Amino acid sequence: MAVLERRNPADDREVVATYEALDADGARAAVDRAAAAAPGWAATPGPKRAALLHRAANLLEERASEIAREITREEGKLLADALGETLRAVTIMRFHAGEAERLGGETAEPADPGVLAFTRRRPLGVVGLITPWNFPIAIPAWKLAPALAAGNAVVIKPASRAPGGTVALVAALRDAGAPEGVLELAVGGSAVGGVLVDDARVRAVSFTGSNFVGEALRARVTDRGGRFQGELGGNNPLIVLADADVDRAAGLAVSGAFGAAGQKCTATRRVIAEGPVYEAMLARTAELAGALRVGPGLEDGVEVPPLVDRDAQREVLEAVEATVAAGAEAVAGGDRGEADAHGSFVAPTVLAGAGPGTPVIDDEVFGPVVAVLEAADAGAAIELANATPYGLSASVCTNDLSRAIEFVRSIDAGMVHVNRPTPGADPHLPFGGVKASSASGYREQGRAAVEFFTEGQTVYLQGQS
């Protein structure tokens, strides 16, 4: 069996974890076990499934500090963020424990008075989850919890860049008493993902990751008649109107763009400022970005951690270089900064003058990079914000309620914020985008999450006369 090695993003001389990686045969064996366990789990009463999730949530909470430290060492994020993410996974588990007890349908009055009619939701059977590295425990939790709550058996493949969070989540569920085969962990590469995508016994696949990979997987799953959920990329705009408080707006832009080193699908990628405040917004954003401290996620006082690895660092710096070569100016950052040369650091970068056809405008540059653009008026700002294939999250800064309402009505985004940063989502509310940011109509998180993992059934019940 192959061994997967992970190094510390803050110092790549340090090996922080090794994992046994499955091949395609190992992945098929995992599906075999899940398929055998699926009928028994589906028949388990909802309150018993809820109890499992509650016990696992309690174990995660007890282990949160230890798990957070290992997430930081493996993925790189700030220790406080890793702890917050782990505790968010606890909240998600508890929320869906409640959903396991509430799972149901509705009654209706049928045409025949001697009939009782109602709807119910039932599990699909075996589902496959393919999760990303940037939220290595929260995103697995928000897929796993509703899938298990609904009565499915699960095979989960975490990202090879940071499997540790998922390993800790699965350990908590197994220690809490998950029956054998109900939850299968499949660490490995594309061969493992290929089995989940192509095996007809896997009724549905939920994927979070890049658009390129997501669209390819969607085609394979749907071509064989499976169900696919894809939460993909974003190029999220923050519009700053002329009546906004520039200092506050710049603070929102900086937190949205550079938190977690910009490694969030909801991170602010473009700041679009109305003409009268453009220069001030550009200057203040650059000033705040330049003052941020870059360093290891375990170090006190650090505000921007390293990227997940050297490949990520290279991709971001190449995108910045290409955008500058096309005429943009880096008014802050633009390079790896003065951080330790053994880490995958990128300085918080603010670009001015970036135009269509450049990576930061057309693509999702997954790092601490934001472009500040100028718009003639509010209408032009919204038009510019919508001029992208993506539609995940968007925000506006304004003190004018009418303009805020117009923004909400006109912006092409699945999640909309007013006077807030573009990142941010509550576990009890739906999460997802429109356009190329979502490869399906299904939403994650909240009560809507269960819909993807179940199918509806209408029942007409009549006694024998």
| pLDDT score of 104 | 87
Q: What residue ranges define each of the domains in the chain, with the CATH number in brackets?
A: 2-232+439-461 (3.40.605.10), 236-418 (3.40.309.10)
CA dist., res. 66 & res. 61, Å (int) = 10
Tell me the whole-structure pTM to 2 decimals.
0.96
Q: pLDDT tens per residue, the chain (465 residues)?
A: 689 999 999 999 999 999 999 999 999 999 999 999 999 999 999 999 999 999 999 999 999 999 999 999 999 999 999 999 999 999 999 999 999 999 989 999 999 989 999 999 999 999 999 999 999 999 999 999 999 999 999 999 999 999 999 999 999 999 999 999 999 999 999 999 999 999 999 999 999 999 999 999 999 999 999 999 999 999 999 999 999 999 999 999 999 999 999 999 999 999 999 999 999 999 999 999 999 999 999 999 999 999 999 999 999 999 999 999 999 999 999 999 887 789 999 999 999 999 999 999 999 999 999 999 999 999 999 999 999 999 999 999 999 999 999 999 999 999 999 999 999 999 999 999 999 999 788 999 999 999 999 999 999 999 986
CA dist., res. 420 & res. 291, Å (int) = 21
CA dist., res. 373 & res. 368, Å (int) = 17
* Alpha-carbon separation of residue 379 from 135, 275, 436 (angstroms): 35, 12, 23
The dihedral built from the CA positions of residue 187, 188, 189 and 190, taken in this order, carries a sign that is negative
User: Do the beta carbons of residue 377 and residue 274 sit within 8 Å?
Assistant: yes
CA dist., res. 174 & res. 168, Å (int) = 10
Count of other CB atoms within 10 angstroms of residue 46: 17
Q: What are phi and psi of 305, to 5 degrees?
A: -85, 180
CA dist., res. 84 & res. 255, Å (int) = 16
CA dist., res. 337 & res. 313, Å (int) = 12
Q: What is the DSSP letter of 435?
A: G
CA dist., res. 69 & res. 78, Å (int) = 9
Q: What are phi and psi of 289, to 5 degrees?
A: -65, -45
Catalytic annotation, residues: 265
188: three-class secondary structure by DSSP: strand
| pLDDT score of 325 | 98
461: three-class secondary structure by DSSP: strand
CA dist., res. 18 & res. 5, Å (int) = 5
Identify the CA nearest to 67 among candidates 177, 163, 187, 176.
Answer: 163
CA dist., res. 39 & res. 199, Å (int) = 18
Cβ-defined contacts of 407-416 (< 8 Å, 24+): 407/239, 407/378, 407/382, 410/382, 410/386, 411/382, 411/385, 411/386, 412/385, 412/386, 413/236, 414/438, 414/443, 415/266
Summarize pLDDT for 262-289 with one digit per residue, the tens. Answer: 999 999 999 999 999 999 999 999 999 9
User: Do the beta carbons of residue 73 and residue 298 sit within 8 Å?
Assistant: yes
Q: Supply 250's token pair.
A: 């710049």
3-state secondary structure string across 257-289: HHHHHHCCCCCEEEEEEEHHHHHHHHHHHHHHH
Q: How many residues does the chain have?
A: 465
- Residue 82 gets the label, from left (phi > 0), alpha (psi -120 to 50) or beta, of alpha
CA dist., res. 58 & res. 63, Å (int) = 9
Q: Supply 327's token pair.
A: 């005429």
